[in-house]
Amino acid sequence: MYQVAFYGKGGIGKSTMAANISVALAGKGIRVMQIGCDPKHDSTRLLLGGRVQTTVLDYVREVQIGKRKIEDVMMKGTSGILCIEAGGPEPGIGCAGRGILTAFDTLKKLGTDDLGVDMKIYDVLGDVVCGGFAVPLRGEYADGIVLVTSGEFMSLYAANNIMKGLSNFDTGRPRLVGIILNSRGVDGEEETVRRFAEAAGTKIIAVIPRHRLFFEAESSGHTVREMFPDTKLSEMIDAVAQHIIDVRDGKIRASFPRPLDDDQMSDLAAGREIRRGTCIGAPRFGCTACNPRISIKESKIMSSCAAYGAVAAYLKMNDVAVVLHGPLSCAYLMDTARAKAVLELYAGGIYSTVPNHNLRCTMMDDGSSIFGGVGNLERTLRDTVKEGYMKIAVVTTCMPGIIGDDSLTVINRVIGDNPGVGIDYIPADGDVNGEFTDGFIMAVEKITEMMDLSLERERGTVNIIGSSFFDIHSVRHLKEMGKLFSAFGLKENCRFLDETSSEAVAGFCRGHIDMMVNDSAATIEMASVIESKTGRRVLSVPLPVGLHDYVEWARQMGEIMGMEKEAEREIERAESDHREFIETHSHRFRGRKIIVMNRASQNIDWLIDMLIGLGADICRVGCVPSPRKSGSRSASRHLGITTLDYDTDELRRDLDYMDPDLLIGEFTGPVGNRCRIARVGKVGIGVLPTEEYVEYLENIMRLPREEGWKEGVKI
């Protein structure tokens, strides 16, 4: 079987040429299939006497995989030509390129290669603007390419682009059959196209004049070749058909395209002699001017997406429904992880709000990626409003972002129809706008708009700001935080963002003090968003972890609350208790060789303070770079003894050379059982949890190096 793709600028007459040539080929005894690849699905109209048929893409929207049949999307036309239309979305909606991909994949699976066809003709829309429209150019499809053009510059420009696309899919064999000049009657047309063809390494295989017979035939839904077989025009069409057959049979050689560069195209347009061109080679779509990437090493490795971050932020508000505009897989992956965590917190008595399931999904599928997903969005939004939600957030995944869904118009329409309902729009577009934290911050920026800036501060109330509240997600940690607060007469106002509501966020400005839960990069960024939105100042000292931070924090609280003396008393008590603790426990650590390996984004100053206090021999503090976020803070007060960009290779060398008693890190595996391993996990708030952590380390050093379960069957 031989396959030919007809390409050219929109409206240049490709369908007319393709249909006429199909009839001519059939007249020569060739069994022909013509596949229209234009969303307006009119390629085969002239072969079907004007009848309309079901397009492949409409069909796949309706019929499930496994139940599809080729007969449902194929009709027999003039001279037994098999006719198929790929179909596609309305102009400006969805992704027609994706449509071509799906249509071709579906046709392959439906067995179009097994129908005994001798020749397939693809009639392809306009310009090669993306990978989808280039599908017919791929080696497994087009054996030959016919360009249809007029002498107008834009038409030649499109033909040149198609040749660039063809170069991109170089199969190692010549495939450019030639150019059909479909005349528009402009001055010097044939000469212009001839010059173009020569410069591009191909030739004109037919010059088709403008002729009233085309109009007459098409008006009655037929081809010239069928209605007026004995005319000069039909002779010309037959000649093109024969040319294609000769190329197929190897009697005429096709050529490799030499697309013109910008300067050459300027020469062509100006009527000048076309200069020798630079080799365009195989440019990438959409980016011919810059150096294309060639390796993953040039990408930022992101292990999460902005959409998930935005969803996670909004789901911390119990009265807000989140509509995820995207496929079900995204909703499933996001929801299972979050819901499990919430269920565990609730079951453990940490969450007091009854868990709910307030994530909705627009269920975008292949069909909506082709035809646009705004219909799905509108349906889901209206259903969510019907459920009674007054506050909704729409977060986009990569699918609507890539196909360019106009989500905002839909949102505004739904808001207009439902007074009192508020809908936030977060166009995270999957990972297009970055990773988890980027999406989280996008959401935070929106959520801060709910804050009522007119409220008066209430003395002694605290807003706690953080992207993650894992540090206080246990009953003991909550109690410890309560103790810290009560010493200074403080009480919680709003957790931003954790187990909260739009009402609590609205009352944020009632809080007297704004405090960060930790000093991670994300939390600092959140604090900065709040400061710029409200004009308030967030304390630079976060909730304390360990004695050093506690002292600093207590002094600051004493100052703010006018309780300096009480603060000093608290500090004295804490220092005394801590000294006693160190004395009691240091005998297990004194002189013990310890390596600490930590992520750049996590502050473990408290741990290093503690190990120094206990007299441990800290051989190394290695800081693993965070691949996800540049600019994260590194452990701050102990930078002098920290090895930055520490990796597992260095760790293995250290383990061999230093032979430590204990390795504290966040990993399992690569170091085997060479020494005891403790995890550096989330500790909690205050001094007590850090002391409890030391007791955990003591246990690790007394317990067997290897657990018995590892004797199970090796994987």
Active site (catalytic) residues: 9, 14, 40, 127
The tally of CA atoms less than 13 A away on the side-chain side of residue 227 is 17
Q: Which is nearer to another protein, 414 or 610 (CB)?
A: 414
Nearer to another protein, 50 or 292 (CB): 292
Q: Is 230 exposed, middle or buried (0-12, 13-18, 19+ CB in 10 A)?
A: exposed
Minimum distance from residue 306 beta carbon to another protein (Å): 8
Q: Which two tokens stand for residue 3?
A: 């396959």
Q: Hey, what's the torsion of the CAs at 620, 626, 632, 636, to 10 degrees? A: -10
> Do the beta carbons of residue 158 and residue 133 sit within 8 Å?
no
- SS3 label, residue 82: strand
CB of 469 to another protein, least distance (A): 19
Give 433's DSSP letter: T
Shortest reach from residue 564's CB to another protein, in Å: 46
Query: CB 404: neighbour CB atoms within 10 A?
Result: 12
Retrieve residue 479's tokens. Answer: 């109690």
**CB-nearer residue toward another protein: 11 or 672:** 672
Strand partners, 424: 393
678 three-class SS: strand
* Strand, helix or coil for residue 670: coil
CB of 191 to another protein, least distance (A): 36
Single-letter residue type at 237: I
Residue linked to tokens 């991909």 = 101
For the bound state, the minimum distance from the C-beta of residue 377 to another protein, rounded and expressed in Å, comes to 13
Helix 407-417 / helix 374-386 crossing angle, nearest 10 deg: 30
DSSP-assigned letters across all residues of 285-325:
TT-SSSPPP-SGGGS---SS-HHHHHHHHHTTBTTEEEEEE
Judged by beta carbon, residue 386 or residue 565, the one nearer another protein is 386
Q: How far apart are CA 659 and CA 321, in angstroms?
A: 53
Question: How near is the Cβ of 246 to another protein at its closest, in Å?
Answer: 27
CB of 504 to another protein, least distance (A): 20
Question: What separation, in Å, do the N-terminal and C-terminal C-alpha atoms of the chain show?
Answer: 49
Nearer to another protein among residue 438 and residue 519 (C-beta): 438
What pairing do the DSSP bridges indicate for beta strands 176-182 and 144-149? parallel
